[in-house]
Structure 1
């Protein structure tokens, strides 16, 4: 069987039923697929259904109208376990937007958050939106970075995703349009091999100037990082899994062998082929064929 459908529901929910699997199976068969083995990756949470006889595109179309409250991901079976993880940070590896939290200390969170939402949905130019938001932080004490960091929470499954992939020989990279103060902390705590982000400029290391070091790391920088890290690790971009939620992640997601829109903004959902809206970050392990009993808990 050369193709696999992975069904994923919320962690520990037990929501994935035999009936849901039967519905998906029937939809594939009705459109000419020959189905084979069904394998539980985590009972009641995630499973693989192997099949052949149709294209990925035809299978996805067949599943579009299935009334299944689960993430439905169709892939080629061969090569699904990846050797490079490249991940966005804000609203992906961490639950919120670190710039928005920083802006809260300057009393401008609502203004900054509104710009962030539009930029991440692709409605504003990323660099111009970043400059405008950071400009509102001019004069803020650098000490507030530490205070903002205390509010950061990791997305469910973040530690397990990184630990499991690294234990199995993958290189893990955190590439963000946010700031290196936060990415370096996330890298250390979650065990990433590499991080890359923008740099906030300061006045004598004590106060923020309201400016970002140029050139700004934008969507192209994420693509460049993917290509460079793949080459440095002796692999191709097809051997990478990329994950993000914002418009500045779309090119990276499109280029990677497995590109995942994770609880993403509407414009990203509309363009990404693989979308995770039910599962947490361990969904990226299920997509690669890892069963729960193979997860490494950091």
Structure 2
């Protein structure tokens, strides 16, 4: 049995859900009824056949939709990207703004996240442009520019309260990832280390670079350490370097993602915030935690 979770925090009507059930029937998905996860915000539609056809039939409405097997939908491991996923900005672009070169670096970031450039080479190129920047700017940027994505803390705290493990894996920098992880509540943070000498960036990062391969290996290693299968994992990100882990996870979610990621992920969230990933697991608002 499968479930399609319709998510529209701004307002989901019973008529909308009934119309969605009709779409499933027309697509040959054998719908078997529906029920609220949270009335007016999220609903589960049970069906028996053709999950790909179900997703195609339901996407494009005034909601986000997550289609997955009903059994095992509650996940025990979350592996998440940071920039533009768990926080609202790309940290390297914001550092570049303090250096007066944001447009130049942001253009490279955008192309790398769209999969048009090799991530490692693009990171080296961008960091090289920051050579000589006062390292004190990092703390200033963290305080002024870096804010959690709506729903991030609730997602992580709720999953941990339910016995899950949460790991932040970023192609960005430890100087941002570690305090962000602590503030949101992650168990662990993995990111690149900027090389700093005499209080200034020297324009390099330590090796090996944390990129797509590291994110995928982290998903595999953390699930193995927990003694669970990948089907019990959730991965979320927005850029091309997140795609391998998104495709390997039991539930891989493209969150407000670049087109290459949105097209390849099993699920995508475009309208809602990160609490959509709780509704997708069948967790009602009354069970959410934000300690």
User: Does TM-score exceed 0.5, indicating one fold?
Assistant: yes
Using the alignment, how far apart are the partners of 1:223 and 1:99 within structure 2? 22
TM-score by length of 2: 0.97
1:105 counterpart SS class? helix
- From 270, 286, 290, the equivalent of 1:293 is 286
Is 1:196 paired with 2:195?
no
Is 1:283 paired with 2:279?
no
Partner of residue 170, structure 2: 176
Is 1:117 paired with 2:116?
no
Q: Is the 8 A contact 1:174 1:192 kept in 2?
A: yes
- From 36, 42, 46, the equivalent of 1:46 is 42
- From 200, 207, 215, the equivalent of 1:207 is 200
Is 1:246 paired with 2:245?
no
1:127 counterpart SS class? helix
Q: Is the 8 A contact 1:112 1:133 kept in 2?
A: yes
2:272 counterpart SS class? coil
User: Which segment is superposed worse, 24-33 or 77-86?
Assistant: 24-33
How far does residue 244 in structure 1 lie from its aligned partner after superposition?
A: 0.1
Partner of residue 70, structure 1: 63
Partner of residue 56, structure 2: 61
Alignment: residue pair count: 290
Provide the alpha-carbon RMSD of the alignment: 1.2
Q: Deviations over 1:203-234 (max 9, x none)?
A: 14x11101011111110110011111111111
How far does residue 267 in structure 1 lie from its aligned partner after superposition?
A: 1.4
Partner of residue 233, structure 1: 226
TM-score by length of 1: 0.94
2:172 counterpart SS class? strand
Q: Is the 8 A contact 2:28 2:50 kept in 1?
A: no
Is 1:83 paired with 2:79?
no
- From 8, 15, 18, the equivalent of 2:14 is 18
Using the alignment, how far apart are the partners of 2:164 and 2:266 within structure 1? 23
Q: Is the 8 A contact 1:82 1:239 kept in 2?
A: yes
Structure 2 stretches lacking a partner, 5+ long? none
Q: Is the 8 A contact 2:148 2:184 kept in 1?
A: no
